[in-house]
Amino acid sequence: RVYTQSHFDYVIAGMAELAERKASLRGMRFTYTPPFLRHFTARFAPV
């Protein structure tokens, strides 16, 4: 896979925004986890 500078710029901008908002972000908890491939089909609710 090939990544361009614009891909990295996008990721950096997203991480900067996340860092600015970190105090207002809350965690999530699982409400449903299937027996297989849980990271694809799990459901979450705010903590």
First-to-last alpha carbon distance for the chain, in angstroms, is: 36
What CA–CA distance (Å, rounded) separates 21 from 35? 33
Q: Where are the domains of the chain?
A: 5-46
Residues 6+ apart with CB under 8 A from 18: 25
Query: What is the value of pTM for the model shown?
Result: 0.60
Q: With b meaning 16 or more CB within 10 Å and e meaning fewer, what string describes 17-30?
A: eeeeeeeeeeeeee
pLDDT value for 39: 85
Ordered mean pLDDT values, 10 residues apiece, the chain (47 residues): 96 98 94 91 94
